[in-house]
Amino acid sequence: SYNIDFLTGIPIELLLLPGIQFSQCCEPILTKQKAAKTPQELMRSRFSAYAVNNFQYVIDTYALEVRKQHNIK
């Protein structure tokens, strides 16, 4: 079964790099089983968070300065 991007209706697996499954790429980062090691992994995980409606992850990964500026906890 696929995880569907709620914005586009496209399976998330098709939005990732070819040959990489959501469960191998971004899901462990979104579930905090591992941290993003590169800016590319972070941005891919943030995109995936939008796609699976996990906005808290997006907020949690804002830079501290941005969170303070916008009064986000």
Report which of 56, 5, 1, 15 is spatially closest to residue 32, judged by C-alpha positions. 56
pLDDT reading at 1 higher than 60 = no
**Alpha-carbon gap, residue 10 to 6, rounded angstroms:** 8
pLDDT one-digit tens code per residue, 10-65: 666 656 666 677 788 889 999 999 999 988 889 889 988 988 889 999 999 988 88
pLDDT for the residue 2: 56
Q: What is the pLDDT of residue 32?
A: 92
**Torsion region of 44: left, alpha or beta (phi above 0 gives left; psi -120 to 50 gives alpha):** alpha
Spatial distance between the Cα atoms of 45 and 35, rounded to a whole number of angstroms: 10
Phi, psi of 56 (to 5 degrees): -60, -40
Could you tell me the sign of the dihedral formed by the alpha carbons of 46, 51, 54, 56, in that order? positive
